A and B are shown apart, each in its own frame.
Chain A
Amino acid sequence: MPRSKMTGAQAVLECLKREGVDVVFGLPGGVLLPLYDAIYQSDIRHILVRHEQGAAHMADGYARATGKVGVCIATSGPGATNLVTGIATAYMDSVPMVAITGQVNTFLIGKDAFQEADITGITLPITKHSYLLRSARDIPRVFREAFYIASTGRPGPVLIDLPRDVTVEEIEFSWPELHLPGYNPSLKAHELQVKRAAKALMEAERPVIYAGGGIKFADAHQELVKLAKTLNAPVTTTLMGVGTYPEDDPLSLGMLGMHGTKYANLAIQESDLILAVGARFDDRVTGKIASFAPRARIIHIDVDPAEIGKNVRVDIPVVADAKNALSALLGQIQPKPRSAWNAKIEGWKKDFPLKYIPDMNVIKPQFVIEKLCELAPEAVITTEVGQNQMWAAQFFVHKDPRKFISSGGLGTMGYGFPAAIGAKMGCPDSEVIDIAGDGSFLMNCQELATAVVNDIPVKVAILNNGCLGMVRQWQELFFERRYSATILGRTSPDFVKLAEAFGALGLRASKPSEVEPVIRAALASDRPTIMDFIVSPVEKVSPMVPAGATLSEILELEWCEESHAAHVHGIVGIPGSMEECL
């Protein structure tokens, strides 16, 4: 292999190029000056963010939208600690990411030097792996390993801490072979287990497929669709799995769990066989674990052996990549006809559809989502966290696995907007819309500058309910309407003016009739755009399985709280009018 002399910083850029990186998100600082000097002279695109948390979420959004590894860069000390929430978010949702942090000179490590933080220590429990470089000679090996580890098996974030002196040290660059004796992701399904799973599926009378984010990472959605159709088995997805099965298909049950559909939850509880694929039986999904799917045997396919048996007992474990396991299963099953089970589920779907009370005067947040779906059905949707996230999952008809991007495991407010910027960088030809709450959006709204300066025309739909809606909902239901610290009301800025101050386009809809024109104007715009929808402040996400309850104890909220909702009609319409009514 030809060798050439270069600095550590140049070697980092060379590694990124060899790994196929075309864009990185970051913000410089003292110890990163040599690296940024190399970036200046490189053709890799660097997006300057306005807060490092934004850089991590952008890398994450880019990774989720493209399937490639996202890269973010931050300086030592506060820059690195600002990445922490973004790294934790990526870790919880198994997102392939490489985070590069600057570090003080190796001879200063441990001396509490200026802007020193033990970032490998801080991120130990929220990274798949991490490295503290001590010599530039290790750069090629470490970067090669980092990208490999981040993107294979169960993906996850890998952090590389890069001391300043390492970036100026000169080395002969050579690209090493991978040698990771302790890392062998098990990808191929065990034949016997596949046979057992296939047999169980063929025998089952009331099967349910429960699909998670693992389908996305393995690119296994086509196999999933084939399997479901061959077996005539209904499919429900987790929040991470939203979009892996087309929701306009008759076999789709939508999402399950706390804010899943009633029919998905009933189906799980009555099922005699659950096929879990790339999902991890999270408490938001299972409800009370002891009474979860009491009549069902469980087949669990997961690439991470540690997920199997972690939360529920599993009858047939299959450790494998979802694509491999589903393909193997497809070879072992025969078509099954529609059954009484399919008819029963269709009955539930008719009896318990997702619903809300439409309103002529007040914008219902669900109505905004339905309109977005109607006018931009192919858009990549990112979400913030809270009610906005749940409505985005429920009322947009998701059909594509890489077009619903949401912080599921960590539930990070402030995620959606930078993630949208990252997704747009990865998919410049797609419309990218962040569905936001007025609380969450402010957590990373500084990235408006990033979007405007770099001409990244993402769209934000703020469901402006004047409160930290999801928490307010719990207070209404479980704390006798004592709205402690959840009413934002007048304290939020004017989002239209905020957009304009950054040089973005700001639009507002205060009445239902304005919703469609605002969305059309936003979609027609080639600039970053904020749509401020003044929505009903008292709307609740429904249905709902209260925390710790069994899935079948699901409540349909809108219908019992009608009078309370009616009470506030007419007083809403301008931002900040909530205090009076709540």
Chain B
Amino acid sequence: MKHTIAVIVENKSGVLTRIAGLFSRRAFNIDSLSVGATDNPDYSRMTITVEGGEDVLEQVIKQLSKLINVIRVSELQPAESVERELAVIKVAADRENRSEIMQIVNIFRASIIDVSARSMIIEVTGDVEKVDAIVQLLRQFGIKEMARTGKVSMVRGARVIKV
């Protein structure tokens, strides 16, 4: 079972280490982790995907909440939230297959952000499944390099997760 949690943390040095350290010490599995700024420069927001049952999720949330620099921890229910991930993918592309690749890019509403004689960089945004799907399709051309951000999530509607 995969769970997505949003964690608001103080924007201080060492906070990421504390969170990573907690996960390794308590033998929790992180699937993905992304960190970035919030509208308040004192705080950052992490989106963490963890693997495990309800009991694991409960421990993850409680243990994270114990860290002094952690301000808030909330689970995001997939049905009630939107999630996005961004990937940049460098694929092998030449005159022969360039148009075929561009078709795939169009279908996924992805974009091409760099082109050279033998490669292209494609940028795609979407939920994790969408990113997985385009990666799968691009594999046939040869993926030379890929970087994914890990996902960020937000609850739909008026509800907010803030400090």
Q: Which residues of A contact B (CB under 8 A)?
A: 120-121, 124-125, 128-129, 132, 149, 180-183, 304-306, 309-310
Q: B: which residues have CB within 8 A of A?
A: 9-10, 14, 17-18, 21-22, 25, 55, 58-59, 62-63, 65-71, 163
List 8 interface pairs A-B (beta carbons < 8 Å), by A numbering: A121-B17, A124-B21, A125-B21, A125-B22, A125-B25, A182-B9, A306-B59, A309-B55
| With known contacts A149-B68, A309-B58, A182–B25 Cβ distance under 8 A | no
Tell me the complex Cα distance, A149–B66, Å.
11
Contact check, A182 vs B17: say whether CB atoms are below 8 A apart.
no
Contacts A120-B14, A309-B58 known; 9 new A-B pairs at CB < 8 A:
A121-B17, A125-B21, A132-B14, A181-B163, A182-B69, A182-B71, A183-B68, A306-B62, A310-B59
CA separation between A306 and B63, bound complex, in Å? 6
Q: Return chain B residues, CB-CB under 8 Å to A306.
A: 59, 62-63, 65-66
Note all chain B residues with C-beta closer than 8 A to A124: 17-18, 21
Q: Cβ of A305 and Cβ of B68 under 8 Å apart? A: no
Which residue from chain B places its CB closest to the CB of A180 in the assembled complex? Answer: B68
Q: Smallest Cβ distance from B161 to chain A, in angstroms?
A: 14
Q: Whose C-beta in chain B lies nearest to the C-beta of A132? A: B14
Q: How far is the CA of A581 from the CA of B67 in the complex (A)?
A: 53
Residue on B nearest A308 in the bound complex, by CB: B62
List, in ascending order, chain B residues with CB within 8 A of A305's CB: 62, 65
Q: How far is the CA of A182 from the CA of B12 in the complex (A)?
A: 13
Contact A304 B58, beta carbon cutoff 8 Å: no
Q: Which residue of B lies closest to A306 (CB)?
A: B62
| A182–B68 touching, CB < 8 Å | yes
Task: Name the B residues within 8 Å of A120 (CB-CB).
Answer: 14
Closest partner residue, chain B, to A305 (CB atom): B62
Residues of A within 8 A of B163 (CB): 181
The residue in chain A whose Cβ has the minimal distance to the Cβ of B21 is: A124
Assess whether B68 is in contact with A129, with CB atoms less than 8 Å apart. yes
A132 to B15, CA, bound (A): 12
B86: min CB distance to chain A, Å:
29
- Name the residue of chain B whose CB is nearest to the CB of A185: B66
> Top 8 nearest A-B pairs by Cβ distance?
A306-B62, A125-B25, A182-B71, A129-B68, A124-B21, A183-B68, A305-B62, A182-B70
User: Which of chain A's residues has its CB closest to B60's CB?
Assistant: A306
Contacts of B63 in A (CB 8 A): 306
The listed residue with most A CB atoms (<10 A of its CB), out of B59, B62, B163, is B62
Whether the Cβ atoms of B67 and A182 lie closer than 8 Å is yes
Kindly list chain A residues whose C-beta atoms are within 8 Å of the C-beta of B22: 125
Most buried by B among A121, A124, A180: A124
Q: Inside 8 A of A132's CB, which chain B residues have their CB?
A: 14
Kindly list chain B residues whose C-beta atoms are within 8 Å of the C-beta of A304: 66
A149 to B67, CA, bound (A): 11
Q: Whole-angstrom distance between the alpha carbons of A164 and B63 in the complex?
A: 33
- CA A180 to CA B70, docked complex, whole Å: 10
Please, which residue of chain A has its CB at the minimum distance from the CB of B43?
A: A181
On whether the beta carbons of A181 and B71 are closer than 8 Å, the reply is yes
> Which of B14, B63, B68, B69 has the most chain A CB atoms inside 10 A of its CB?
B68
- Interface-centre pick from A121, A149, A310 (highest chain B CB count, 10 A): A310
- A129 vs B17: C-alpha distance when bound (angstroms): 12
Query: A182 touching B14 by the CB < 8 A rule?
Result: no
Give the complex CA separation of A120 and B70 in angstroms: 18
Q: Considering the chains assembled together, what is the distance between the CA atoms of A563 and B127 in angstroms?
A: 72
> In the complex, which residues of chain B have a beta carbon less than 8 angstroms from the beta carbon of A121?
17
Nearest Cβ distance between residue B57 and chain A, in whole angstroms?
11
Residue in A closest to B42 when the chains form the complex, CB atoms: A181
Contact of B10 among A149, A182, A309 (CB under 8 A): A182
